[in-house]
């Protein structure tokens, strides 16, 4: 299992390869990227040095408990990112596809609504604003009970 | 007691943290939010959306009714937006 908070970019192909093994029949993944719409020039990911790692670990533990997985990787970047940068990777491996696919969806839904991380957008015109939570993120997370 | 402010709450308060002496009667996280909001105009603005502020007590996510007795650090933060 890999749970990591880092400012450096991650290598998706490398991370997915690490999840492959003799008992693995499926690897599913989600990669979130910075959108460059609306003149956005920077997305800053703020975290808390103790609450954020604890939140990621809780998502990892709940995901492993809920689904029959061989492996799970959650990597979230922090600090200043630019359009097209990858923000987050959630990847899961399992014997059959259903568990890996569901686990990835569950983990990213939980992460987006429960892990202490905050986005601040900065635009080409000099404006900056904190991103507000989206109702549909909360609705998606609520589906899991 | 140390109070940490994160993200837009920190921006609104103008500082990342402060140390306070709780007045008599402030015993829960909910009491603390009400007291902070009433201190001055800046606090009132920062805690205007009080219902959506999350609380951690000594690095554990807490409920509004949780007691502050024995707590050393309170962390206040807005709804999360990672991922």
Write out pLDDT tens, residues A93-139: 999 999 999 999 999 999 999 999 999 999 999 999 999 999 999 99
For residue A114, give the DSSP letter: H
Nearest-by-CA chain A residue for B16: A48
Return d(Cα A115, Cα A104) in angstroms, integer. Answer: 15
Are A50 and B7 within 8 A, CB to CB? no
Residue B75 at interface with chain A, using a CB cutoff of 8 Å: yes
Strand A117-123 and strand B17-19: pairing?
A: unpaired
Are A48 and B6 within 8 A, CB to CB? yes
CA B78 vs CA A8, A10, A106, B28, B39: distances in Å: 25, 28, 22, 18, 19
Write out pLDDT tens, residues B36-45: 999 888 888 8
What is the pLDDT, as a whole number, of residue A52? 98
Residue A143 at interface with chain B, using a CB cutoff of 8 Å: no
Three-class SS state of A76: strand
Are B81 and A118 within 8 A, CB to CB? yes
Residues 6+ positions from A116 with CB-CB distance below 8 Å: A47, A48, A51, A52, A55, B6, B54, B56, B77, B80, B82
**What ipTM does the predicted assembly reach?**
0.93
Residue B1 at interface with chain A, using a CB cutoff of 8 Å: no
CA A91 vs CA A15, A53, B72: distances in Å: 8, 18, 37
Which secondary structure element, helix H or strand E, spans residue A107, and what is its range?
A: helix A97-114
Query: What's chain A's average pLDDT?
Result: 97
Residue B7 at interface with chain A, using a CB cutoff of 8 Å: yes
pTM for the whole thing?
Answer: 0.94
B7: chain A residues, CB-CB within 8 Å: 46, 118, 120, 130
What is the pLDDT, as a whole number, of residue A145? 85
Q: Point out the residue among B11, B61, B81 whose CB comes nearest to the CB of A133.
A: B81
Are B77 and A116 within 8 A, CB to CB? yes
What percentage of chain A reaches a pLDDT higher than 70?
100
Residue B48 has pLDDT above 90, yes or no: no
B8: chain A residues, CB-CB within 8 Å: 118, 130
CA angle A114, A110, B15 (to 5 degrees): 20
């Amino acid at each position: 299992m890999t749970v990591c908070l880092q400012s450096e970019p991650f290598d998706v192909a490398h991370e997915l390869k690490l999840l492959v093994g003799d008992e693995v029949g499926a690897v599913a993944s989600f990669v979130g990227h910075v959108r460059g719409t609306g003149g956005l020039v920077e997305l800053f990911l703020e975290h808390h040095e103790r609450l954020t790692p604890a939140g990621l670990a809780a998502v990892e533990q709940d995901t492993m408990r809920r689904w029959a997985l061989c492996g799970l990787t959650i990597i979230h970047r922090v600090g200043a990112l630019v359009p097209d940068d990858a923000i987050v990777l959630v990847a899961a491996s399992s014997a059959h596809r259903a568990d890996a696919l569901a686990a990835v969806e569950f983990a990213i839904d939980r992460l987006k609504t429960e892990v202490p991380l905050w986005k601040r957008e900065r635009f080409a015109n000099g404006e900056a604003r904190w991103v507000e939570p989206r109702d549909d993120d909360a609705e998606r997370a609520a589906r899991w009970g | 007691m140390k109070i940490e402010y994160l993200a837009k709450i920190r921006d609104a308060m103008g500082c990342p943290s402060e140390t306070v002496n709780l007045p008599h009667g402030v015993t829960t996280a909910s009491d603390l939010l009400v007291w902070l909001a009433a201190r001055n105009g800046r606090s009132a603005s920062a805690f205007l959306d009080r219902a959506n502020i999350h609380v951690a007590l000594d690095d554990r996510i807490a409920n509004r009714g949780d007691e502050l007795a024995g707590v050393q650090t309170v962390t206040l933060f807005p709804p999360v937006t990672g991922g």
